[in-house]
Structure 1
Amino acid sequence: MLRCKLEEGKELLQYTNKSISTISTFLCFSSQSHFQTAFKKQFGMTPNECRRMGS
């Protein structure tokens, strides 16, 4: 379940202009910090790094 949410977050980061805060709320994370920590653990990069790579 968590992996699926993080994969969706990765796609949103790469293909939309939504803020990290908006994405974390949309995916029902308890906080932006929790989303960022889980994202880095799963993908080995921060959400901002992922967004820069996707653009």
Structure 2
Amino acid sequence: MLALRRRAGPTRTAAVQAAGMDRSFHTEVEAAVHSVSVDRIPALAEALGVQPELLQDHGGE
């Protein structure tokens, strides 16, 4: 997921705000400590400017 965010361009703060996530949780998702629940994938995909399927295909990476 970190690679997708970097490619998309938003800062971590901007991506977190757009996805409605807590910053510390988002950081742990990017570090592969936690995974994103299915219900959060659409908002996160929109924040990153990618299709939701892309996040699912990458297993949250």
TM-score range normalised by the length of the shorter chain: 0.3 to 0.5
* TM-score of the aligned structures, taking structure 2 as reference length: 0.39
